[in-house]
Amino acid sequence: MMLEDKVAVVYGAGGAIGSAVARAFASEGARLFLTGHHLAPVEVVAKEVVSAGGSAEAGEVDALDEQAVDRHLRSVTDEAGRVDISFNAIGIPSPRLRVPLVELDVEQFSLPITAYTRSYFVTARLAARRMVANRSGVIMTVTAIPSRTGIPLVGGGGPAMAAVEALTRGLSAELAPQGIRVVGLRPQGMPETARIKESFELYAKASGMTWEQFHELGAARTHPRRLSTLAEMANVAVFMASDQASGMTGTVVNLSLGSLDD
């Protein structure tokens, strides 16, 4: 198994990406410490993992709160002795209204930039402080296509994702000499997730298309003419977290199925 006995902490583990990655990590032998803003959805995922024969504990942790993250990591290292993988997949709620940048309130613009950079900074550095002791570990980030290409009506979402990718590279430059890899995943919108269904529906409505037409338009931009799946993203997450990816750090995997050039 690719992650046998690796101790992995997942933030936002009750969400679509967090839960898919948690299941994939567990099926490759990782010991999971799953966290989220609210405990109930995380407990559902942990129970699922345990009933499938894996190891998972659920905890309520606000990934924007440095002290809460620190307390949780202390409890993980007290119990498991170390942290090998930190995977942050939190997602703040998408705005219900799509407002053009020239009309966007400055607070609304700043919100995703502040929240995502803060959460990735806090979770990464607190994990790194533990990983340094073993001179080993993997810190993982999740971003989205607007980090690299202009997409209308995403407000501060594009700058937020670009900042997280820059942080991924900066952390790697500082931590790789100490044996810690920092890597990111940049998935395209996966239509099976509630977040994408909801935001695609808003775009579709605004542009006078049906959800199916909008979905087809997105798929047509990819090389295989389809959108990617959570399972495909989770498989890449497993590889990137594993020692098999020891040659990769300071980089973000492009999971756009060809729709975004490197």
Residues that bind ligand NAP (CB under 6 A): 11-12, 14-18, 36-38, 41, 62-64, 89-92, 142, 144, 187, 189-190, 193-196
CB of 243 to ligand NAP, least distance (A): 25
Q: Which is nearer to ligand NAP, 111 or 131 (CB)?
A: 111
Considering only CA atoms, which of 191, 218, 110, 190 is closest in space to residue 155? Answer: 110
Q: Which is nearer to ligand NAP, 5 or 162 (CB)?
A: 162
Residues whose CB is less than 8 angstroms from the CB of residue 12 and which lie 6 or more positions away in sequence, other chains included: 18, 35, 36, 37, 63, 88, 89, 90, 91
The size of the chain, in residues, is 262
Q: Which is nearer to ligand NAP, 192 or 243 (CB)?
A: 192
Considering only CA atoms, which of 180, 59, 66 is closest in space to residue 118? Answer: 66
CB of 161 to ligand NAP, least distance (A): 7
CA of residue 40 relative to chain centroid, distance: 20
Buried b (16+ CB within 10 A) or exposed e, 185-216: bbbbbbbebebbbebbebbbeeeeeeeeebbe
Residues whose CB is less than 8 angstroms from the CB of residue 197 and which lie 6 or more positions away in sequence, other chains included: 191, 211
Structure-token match 């699922």, residue found: 48
Considering only CA atoms, which of 135, 169, 142, 174 is closest in space to residue 157? Answer: 142
CB of 246 to ligand NAP, least distance (A): 25
CB of 135 to ligand NAP, least distance (A): 28
Task: State the residue number with the nearest CB to ligand NAP.
Answer: 15
Q: Which is nearer to ligand NAP, 134 or 239 (CB)?
A: 239
Q: Which is nearer to ligand NAP, 55 or 94 (CB)?
A: 94
Q: Which is nearer to ligand NAP, 159 or 189 (CB)?
A: 189
CB of 187 to ligand NAP, least distance (A): 4
